[in-house]
Chain A
Amino acid sequence: MTTTVVSETDSRHADSGSAPILSVRDLSVHFPIKRGFIVQREVARVRAVDGISFDIYPGETLGLVGESGSGKTTAAKAVIQLRTAGQGSVKFEGQELIGLGTKAMRPVRRKMGMVFQDPYASLNPRLRAGDIVGEPLKVHGLTESRDDYRKQVAALLTTVGLSPAMAERYPNEFSGGQRQRLGVARAIAAKPSLLILDEAVSALDVSIQAQILNLLQDLQEQYNLAYLFIAHDLSVVRHISDRVAVMYLGRIVETADSKDLYEHPLHPYTQALLSAIPTPNPIVERSRERIILRGDLPSPMNPPSGCRFHTRCPIATEACADTDPELRGLAPNQKAACLLAEGYGDAGSR
């Protein structure tokens, strides 16, 4: 399939002339499904990620939204080369990562931090908080002495809103919100330029979630961090992202500036996703008609023909079952992969 570059028309960046920090082109991750006891043969192939492209510029946040099986987490793992081999191209600060060995990846990983969903499972229970946060400093040789190490750990804990005295405690002595703060501290320890946040606030209670979101925004401003923010909650994604890419069954189906995507969603899937989120205002909510999608998410092992969304799409025509639509620009900085989607305002003519 042809590569459609998500942000080639991104005027802001074209004007400023800055280069993307992360540039993903036609990235695919396929998992073979094998059967057979002695002679294993491939019987099927899960196209978890199927030809996606996007750019992230320094200091900005790209939100990657989708439901289970959309491939958003697999895409993130392929970007950071975490036990997931992808095909295509992943360029980080100009360097191609696909095909890079473990050893060659190590200095690259220093510049990419990752925060996971489950703050209970992602911290080693046998390490003290200080050593969890300080581990990247040791691994990448970023400390001069024990004293320097301790100082850096204390500074990191303070940065994420924890007390330096907590360095001596074990993870089980922390609450969920505090653990996620530890996770963030560990991710920023080696001074990365890109953070991959995979459902990093999804498991948290709303009051704690808001604290972590504010912390992430502060850190981004302070260190000019770029974020790849992966989540299923569109209201959270809208809040934190400059641009958003919506994934469905391994493909990006729509991408736009956050504001445009929420004001004028063009792909029927984006429209349905937005419509599915109830807002905490009874007056607005009760008068609002919802788009309810039929059926379940199809299996990525056997995606529908043509447009992958056509089996659930409220506006699909016969053509949609045959033709696989490509992402096409329908408005400035906005693209959708839908045969029927149209631009809005005077944007259609551009």
Chain B
Amino acid sequence: MTSDSSSYSAATSSPLLQVRDLRTSFNTPDGKITAVSGVSFDVHSGETIGLVGESGCGKSVSALSIMRLVPNPPGEIENGEVLFEGMDLLKLSEKEMQGVRGAGIGMIFQEPMSSLNPVLTIGRQITEPLEVHLGLKGAAAENRAAELLEMVGIADSRRRLQDHPHLMSGGQRQRVMIAIALSCEPKLLIADEATTALDVTIQAQILELMKNLTSQLGTALLIITHNLGIIARYADRLNVMYAGKIRESGTAEDVYLNPGHPYTVGLLNSVPRLDRPSSDRLDPIEGEIPDPANLPSGCAFRPRCRWATEQCAVSEPILEQVEDRQMVACFESKAVADSVEKVLP
């Protein structure tokens, strides 16, 4: 489970996925909302990347933009590049893009019940991508589907292929989703809040399964979640998003142990943790997430920030490297990092 540093320090190889200056907006009755505004990050082959943030920060819209699944209208990918194996997904035709979905990039969503078709058998839903992407038919497809079900830990797989989704529990459905997503051995798996709706013991099962399978198959994993604990356990590197932008980005060790952005510090201080005394009072971030149609000037986190200065209201900080470590978008990042109680490993 430990992060294999070689998996991403291989700086010579170009990244599997390069997201560059991605900007996605939605037209709403309240005006135009820029849900993702200039997001850039890389995913290298075989590594696990976390995208973390609270509701409305733009993490899911980022994933949907990568997959080109943003409904248009009202949504629109306005700008940017999504380079997957060097090819810009935003320039592909819809038909070409369908070849990438499933075969190149697999995706798992939060609600397995609404992602599975209720009137088709599990078997049909697993064999479909096998037919479309790999040209497998009949018994060959059926055999492969049974193998896949076994791989995700569903016993009696032959018989279960005949079942419809409603006969399965939430955890089993999510296992089926993983089987479908990995059926064509994609290079990248995107898991968008994939375990959020599950009970904690089932959540642990699914996460371990996902991590084990992706490392066996050499699949890169992009985990999107609001749960800081999940990212800490599974991700090599993470990006912290707030109001449509990445505010901090780096290795899990650097970001968790020496956070440099006031928002990251606030998030870490907001969660009750089993590794700290329970008598500690929580130190939440003040106020609420800003209205996306009416973001504050300068740094969007400013109204909730303890370190904000006059400068923060007039100009917007960009992501910059802090002391050979992570990237932080904050004018006061040094003061923030210095003030945070150092967590010793």
Contact B54 A285 (CB under 8 A): no
B201 touches A280 (CB 8 A): no
A41 close to chain B: CB less than 8 A:
no
- Which residue on chain B has the smallest CB distance to residue A212? B284
**Which A residues are in CB contact (< 8 Å) with B171?**
296
A286 to B4, CA, bound (A): 11
Quick one: given A177-B288, A214-B284, A217-B281, are A284 and B275 in contact (CB under 8 Å)?
A: yes
Interface residue? B308 (CB, 8 A):
no
Q: Give CA–CA (A275, B200) in the complex, Å.
A: 10
| Contact with A279, one of B169, B205, B257, B273 (Cβ below 8 angstroms) | B273
CB–CB A296/B172 < 8 A: yes
Interface centre among A177, A206, A272 (most CB of B within 10 A): A206
Report the stretch among B15-23, B123-131, B262-270 that lies at the interface.
B262-270
> How many residues of chain A have a CB within 8 Å of chain B?
49
Given A239-B278, A283-B253, decide whether A293 and B270 contact each other with a Cβ distance below 8 A.
Answer: no
Cβ proximity bits A154-184 to B, threshold 8 Å, 1 near / 0 not: 0000000000000000000001011000000
Does B169 contact A296, Cβ atoms closer than 8 Å? yes
Chain B positions 244-280 with a Cβ under 8 Å from a chain A Cβ: 252-253, 256-257, 266-275, 278
Given known contacts A279-B274, A281-B275, A296-B169, A207 and B252 CB-to-CB distance under 8 angstroms: no
Once A210-B282, A281-B256 are accepted as A-B contacts, the answer to whether A290 and B274 lie under 8 Å apart by CB is no
B203 at the interface (CB under 8 A from A): yes
**How long is the Cα–Cα vector from A68 to B197 in the complex, in angstroms?**
11
- Proximity string of chain A (286-313) to chain B, C-beta cutoff 8 Å, 1 when within and 0 when not: 1110101100110000000000000010
B residues less than 8 Å from A122 (CB atoms):
none
Q: Is the CB of A234 within 8 A of B200?
A: yes
Most buried by B among A233, A282, A296: A282
Are A280's CB and B272's CB within 8 A? no
* Docked-complex contact A276 and B288, CB < 8 angstroms: no
Instruction: Verify A297–B199 contact, CB threshold 8 A.
Output: yes
Other-chain contact of A262, B226, B231, B274 (Cβ < 8 Å) = B274
Which of A211, A239, A273 lies at the interface centre, i.e. has the most chain B CB atoms within 10 A of its CB? A239
A contact residues around B343 at 8 Å (CB): 281
**Which of chain B's residues has its CB closest to A259's CB?**
B278
Partner of A214, one of B55, B273, B282: B282
Cβ–Cβ contact A210 & B232, under 8 A: no
Provide the residues of chain B in CB contact with A277, threshold 8 Å: 200, 229, 274
- Asked if B3 is an interface residue, CB under 8 A from chain A, the answer is yes
The complex places the Cα of A148 from the Cα of B316 at a distance, in Å, of: 48
B1 within 8 A of A: yes
Partner of B232, one of A68, A178, A214, A279: A279
Q: Are B201 and A282 in contact (CB under 8 A)?
A: no
A150 beta carbon closer than 8 Å to chain B = no
Cβ contact of B272, chosen from A236, A283, A312, cutoff 8 A: A236
Cβ-based interface call for B73 (8 A): no
- B-contact bits for A223-236, CB 8 A (1 contact / 0 none): 00000000011111
Q: Which A residues are CB-close (under 8 A) to B54?
A: 205-207
In the complex formed, the residue of A with least CB distance to B3 is: A286
| Distance, CA A211 to CA B201, complexed state (A) | 27
Binary interface encoding of chain B residues 17-48 relative to chain A, with 1 for a CB under 8 A from any of its CBs, else 0:
00000000000000000000000000000000
What is the CA–CA distance of A107 and B261 in the complex, to the nearest angstrom?
A: 51
Report yes or no: B274 in contact with A274, Cβ–Cβ below 8 A.
yes
Q: A113-157 CB contact bits vs B (8 Å, 1 = yes)?
A: 000000000000000000000000000000000000000000000
Q: Are A235 and B204 in contact (CB under 8 A)?
A: no
Query: B177 to chain A: closest CB distance in Å?
Result: 16
The answer to whether B273 and A68 touch across the interface, beta carbons within 8 angstroms, is: no
Partner of A278, one of B169, B229, B253, B266: B229
A98 in contact (CB, < 8 A)? no
A324 proximity list for chain B (CB < 8 A): none
A sample of 24 cross-chain residue pairs with beta-carbon separation below 8 angstroms, ordered by A number, consists of A177-B288, A205-B289, A206-B226, A210-B269, A210-B271, A213-B282, A233-B200, A235-B273, A236-B272, A258-B278, A275-B204, A277-B229, A279-B229, A279-B275, A280-B256, A280-B268, A281-B273, A282-B256, A283-B257, A284-B232, A286-B2, A286-B3, A288-B233, A296-B169
Knowing that A67-B200, A282-B257 touch, tell me 17 more A-B residue pairs with CB under 8 angstroms: A175-B288, A178-B288, A205-B54, A206-B54, A206-B267, A209-B284, A210-B285, A214-B284, A259-B278, A278-B227, A278-B229, A280-B256, A280-B271, A281-B273, A281-B275, A284-B232, A292-B208
Ordered nearest first, which 9 A-B pairs have the shortest CB separation? A278-B229, A210-B284, A239-B272, A210-B270, A67-B199, A280-B228, A276-B204, A205-B54, A282-B252
